């Protein structure tokens, strides 16, 4: 499966959240990572993040895709990172 993660967490937890996400996904833009991931790894990622974040203040969004057909990533402005590829 393909997943896009967008997090919005307090500054003191950014480094930890980023580190966990980077175990499985690649960095695209500040607070955005994406990549192919197995269902087992995705479950582990969610579990790890739930341990780190504070549910009162932090939020993490996961967009998951079983198929990536007909999907495109368009970037305007500064190209900050990640593989420059179509999903």
Is 84 annotated as contributing to ligand binding?
no
Which of 14, 16, 31, 36 binds a copy of itself (CB under 8 A)? It is 31
Write out the two tokens for 37: 């991931």
Residue 30 beta carbon to a copy of itself: minimum distance, rounded to whole angstroms: 4
Alpha carbon distance, N-terminus to C-terminus of the chain: 11
Residues 38, 1: Cα–Cα separation, whole Å: 6
**Running DSSP on this structure, what letter comes out for residue 63?**
E
Residue ranges at the known binding site for Mg(2+)? 8
Q: What residues make contact with a copy of itself under the rule CB under 8 A?
A: 4, 6, 8-9, 28-32, 46, 49-50, 53-67, 69-80, 87
């Amino acid at each position: 499966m393909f997943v896009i993660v967008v997090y919005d967490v307090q500054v003191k937890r950014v480094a930890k959240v980023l580190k966990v996400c980077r175990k499985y996904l690649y960095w695209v833009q500040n607070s955005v990572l994406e990549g192919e991931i197995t269902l087992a790894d995705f479950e582990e990622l969610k579990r790890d993040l739930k341990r780190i974040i504070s549910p009162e203040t932090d939020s993490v969004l996961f967009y998951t895709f079983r198929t990536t057909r007909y999907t495109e990533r368009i970037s305007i402005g500064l190209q900050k990172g990640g593989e420059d590829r179509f999903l």
